[in-house]
Amino acid sequence: MSVTTAPPGGAPQDHRQHQDDRDHRERDREQGRSRAGRRLRRLAGRPGLLLAVLYLALVLGWTVAPGLFAGQDPLHTDPAQSLVAPGSEHWFGTDNLGRDVYARVVHGARVSLVAGLLAVGLALLAGSVLGALAGYLTGWLDHLLMRVVEVLVVIPGLLLSLTVVSILGFGTTHVAIAVGIAGIPGFARVARAEVLRIRGSAYVQAAVAGGNRTPAILVRHILPNASPPVLVLAALDIGGAVLSISALSFLGYGAAPPAPELGAMVSEGRDYMTTAWWLTTFPGLTIALVVLATSRVARALERTGVSS
């Protein structure tokens, strides 16, 4: 489910990065500039990241208000206008039923992105609760939970999602849940490792000695300190989740046919591979760019640290 995108180089470069950040911070303090302004200027210096942020903003716009970006109805068929090549009338052309491909991509991206966020949200929530419980309570519960995670890892994410979909039935929500379930082990592992690291620290011991109850310690002391790496994983996972969801939609387990969905659009366009390239190219490209952009932004978050 994950797309590995950590930067090359490792420690030395990170160190330099931190040094840079510190220099920036000092200069900014001297000049008395706001944090937001500093961030914007730093963004402008990295064109790749800027493009990624802009593209994601566009897709978010599609998600929030698809009608604003695509004037045409994604379901409106017009046999007289079938398989028209991309042009000023239809930016991404039309499909075999004369539906506007651009409108379908806009609405389809919305479905894929919402489903992806749902999947990651589910994996994040369930995985961190399981991982945090295992890491904090240790003992037999930890043992049991980690064994379960180990077994889930053995079954490849795609096959696990496929199995869950076959159990739950087809449809976009079920696909999102299936992809989310496949993502749980990763979050459980990271959350457990973080909690294990933190629970030995002095401030947690002080909280225990101070007579706080376990839930209070978990929520007030451990959660805030364990969340940044888990949230970075969540950001990194969004791209992978969108990929898995479109793969399942491509295989035909997502929304029922007339509804636009990016993976399903690529699948439908397969019959016109030789005559109408735009049917597969635009939805495919949209998915690839969403995945690339989210992973680019997630990597930037990872490097600067979510909390800073």
Min. distance of Cβ 45 from other proteins in angstroms?
16
Min. distance of Cβ 277 from other proteins in angstroms?
6
Backbone φ and ψ of 94, nearest 5°: -125, 160
Tell me which residues in 167-226 interact with other proteins (CB under 8 A).
167-170
Q: Rule CB under 8 A: is residue 239 a binding residue for other proteins?
A: yes
Q: Rule CB under 8 A: is residue 295 a binding residue for other proteins?
A: yes
Q: Rule CB under 8 A: is residue 6 a binding residue for other proteins?
A: yes
CA 174 to mean position of chain CA atoms: 17
Q: Which stretch binds other proteins (CB under 8 A): 20-28, 57-65, 153-161, 222-230?
A: 153-161
Min. distance of Cβ 69 from other proteins in angstroms?
22
DSSP one-letter string for the chain: -----PPSS-HHHHHHHHHHHHHHHHHHHHHT--HHHHHHHHHHT-HHHHHHHHHHHHHHHHHH-HHHH--S-TT---GGGTTPPSSSSSTT-B-TT--BHHHHHHHHHHHHHHHHHHHHHHHHHHHHHHHHHHHHH-HHHHHHHHHHHHHHHHS-HHHHHHHHHHHH-SSHHHHHHHHHHHHHHHHHHHHHHHHHHHHTSHHHHHHHHTT--HHHHIIIIIHHHHHHHHHHHHHHHHHHHHHHHHHHHHTT-SS-TTS--HHHHHHHHGGGTTT-THHHHHHHHHHHHHHHHHHHHHHHHHHH-TT-
Q: Which stretch binds other proteins (CB under 8 A): 23-31, 69-77, 203-211, 248-256?
A: 248-256
Q: Rule CB under 8 A: is residue 292 a binding residue for other proteins?
A: yes
Q: Rule CB under 8 A: is residue 243 a binding residue for other proteins?
A: yes
Closer to other proteins by Cβ: residue 91 or 277: 277
Nearest CA to 174 out of 113, 120, 250, 255 is that of 255
Taking CB under 8 A as the criterion, the residue among 92, 187, 253, 278 binding other proteins is 253
Tell me which residues in 50-109 interact with other proteins (CB under 8 A).
none
Taking CB under 8 A as the criterion, the residue among 67, 71, 224, 252 binding other proteins is 252
Buried b (16+ CB within 10 A) or exposed e, 135-152: bbeeeeebeebbeebeeb
By CB under 8 A, the count of residues binding other proteins is: 49
Min. distance of Cβ 14 from other proteins in angstroms?
13
Q: Rule CB under 8 A: is residue 154 a binding residue for other proteins?
A: yes
Q: Which stretch binds other proteins (CB under 8 A): 33-41, 60-68, 78-86, 154-162?
A: 154-162
Taking CB under 8 A as the criterion, the residue among 34, 274, 307, 308 binding other proteins is 274
Closer to other proteins by Cβ: residue 8 or 211: 8
Min. distance of Cβ 259 from other proteins in angstroms?
15
Residue numbers at the binding site for other proteins (CB under 8 A)? 3-6, 8-10, 147-148, 150-151, 154-159, 162-163, 165-170, 239, 243, 246-247, 250-253, 263, 266-267, 269-270, 273-274, 277, 280-281, 284, 287-288, 291-292, 295
